[in-house]
Amino acid sequence: MNENLHTLRCFGCGARIAGQEASPDFRCAQCGDLFEVEYAGWGQRQGHNRPNPGALKWLWRERRCSSEALDQSGVWRFRELLPILDNFGNAVSLHEGNTPLYKLQRAAKALGIDQLFAKHQGMNPTGSFKDTGMTAALSVARERGFAWVACASTGNTSAAMAAYAARAGLRSLVLIPEGKIAWGKLSQAMDYGAVTCQLKSDFDGCVRVLTQIVKESPIYLLNSVNPYRLEGQKTPAFEIAEAFDWTVPDHLIVPGGNLANSSALGKGFKELLELGLVARMPRISVIQARGANPLARSFAENNGERMEPVEAHTRATAIRIGNPASWRKAARTIKETGGWCLDVSEAEIAVAKAELGTEGLGCEPASAVTLAGLKKLRAQGKVAGGETVVLLLTGHTLKDADYTINFHRGTLLGDDETAGHEPEIAALQRNAVVVDATPAAVLATLNGLSG
């Protein structure tokens, strides 16, 4: 069961290659599409490669009490379902995963939904869901003997890559769009020792430059076109299923940027189903920011068959992506699971983020699109009150403190954007006040509130 059994299967033409044969940009030599990791024998009902569901559930739970570093990772705890390394001793881990699943009470009440949860992937070591994918793909880079790794990023991938590279003793190169990423993320890449290049371009431009670089130099590409990233990013599906005692929620709602994460989670649930660990799949819906909504447009116009890139603009900089690489994979996940793809406005994102804040749950603006999207789905009658819904929160609130402060100060959004949302925004804003350093002045502030 621990043998490295995987092959790479092209998502477009179905061609199969060995892991070592992938080109530096992870595109299929036949058709140019992306690869998925595939494991021999899992689809068959019998066969010596097929894991035993009951034994796995027991083993994974036991590992939660283990003091072994690999067992303490919420990714490698499930290593039987990601046999991508020849030797698990090569795994580079920062104890990622095992993130909390919080019950949302206020939002559930407001929306008339009984069971509403947030799986907070911002509670990972570098503050975003990228850690689960990075531990997997960077371990492959180390096993294959690369000295350099690289990514183009809106910030979180670069923070995660730089941290894991530092742990492994590898050098890392980061390409980010100048002025378009949150300071928290840039500071992380610097602190973890990455060579950080701010390009006078957007995320899509950074991807174009890096794709050329990896073709010309022995640098391992760690963007989410790298199929091993998705093997790590599928593991929150296992954690969610485990948390619900191997039933699955009715609906999982995920933010969409470069569109890899939604399909990684879909792959995770699909493998659980194929292996007999769960009996069904959740619906998976993807929510984009209105200014960076190529997939939402594609679903509205042609049911996700074709996608036109857009010039992306949103303050949710993590998902400011106009030409998402993995859109076909995401479209398949949405269609296979009966989910939807919607977009939400800048004001809807800001309000949803502040509402999550009132429940004691901070997150990045890109994560808050999930609650904003759920409100729309509920209003459209696509989510019933009796359903169990999980929102995937992808990033920690401190990644982008400027956004939050600007919201509370009333300097985040323009009048054209707040139109129609003024009362809910005013009710959520909590600006800090400057007062004299006396008890009387502070108490006067409190009296002012109640009055």
| Interaction site with ligand F0G (CB under 6 A) | 128, 130, 153-157, 224, 255-261, 318-319, 364, 366-367, 394-395
Our CB check for ligand F0G shows the closer of 239 and 364 to be: 364
Residue 390 C-beta: closest distance to ligand F0G, Å? 15
Residue 319 C-beta: closest distance to ligand F0G, Å? 5
Check if the beta carbon of residue 64 is closer than 8 Å to that of residue 77. Answer: yes
Our CB check for ligand F0G shows the closer of 56 and 351 to be: 351
Chain centre to alpha carbon of residue 363: 12
Residue 295 C-beta: closest distance to ligand F0G, Å? 9
Residue 130 C-beta: closest distance to ligand F0G, Å? 6
Our CB check for ligand F0G shows the closer of 153 and 337 to be: 153
Query: Which amino acid makes up residue 445?
Result: T
Check if the beta carbon of residue 337 is closer than 8 Å to that of residue 266. Answer: yes
Residue 152 C-beta: closest distance to ligand F0G, Å? 7
Our CB check for ligand F0G shows the closer of 206 and 275 to be: 206
* 130: nearest Cα among 315, 394, 361: 394
Our CB check for ligand F0G shows the closer of 99 and 367 to be: 367
Beta bridge partners of 152: 175
* 227: nearest Cα among 91, 5, 1, 27: 27
Residue 272 C-beta: closest distance to ligand F0G, Å? 20
> Would you state the structure tokens that stand for residue 86, as one six-digit string?
């020849």
Residue 441 C-beta: closest distance to ligand F0G, Å? 39
Our CB check for ligand F0G shows the closer of 72 and 157 to be: 157
How many other C-beta atoms lie within 10 A of the C-beta of residue 211?
Answer: 18
Our CB check for ligand F0G shows the closer of 256 and 373 to be: 256
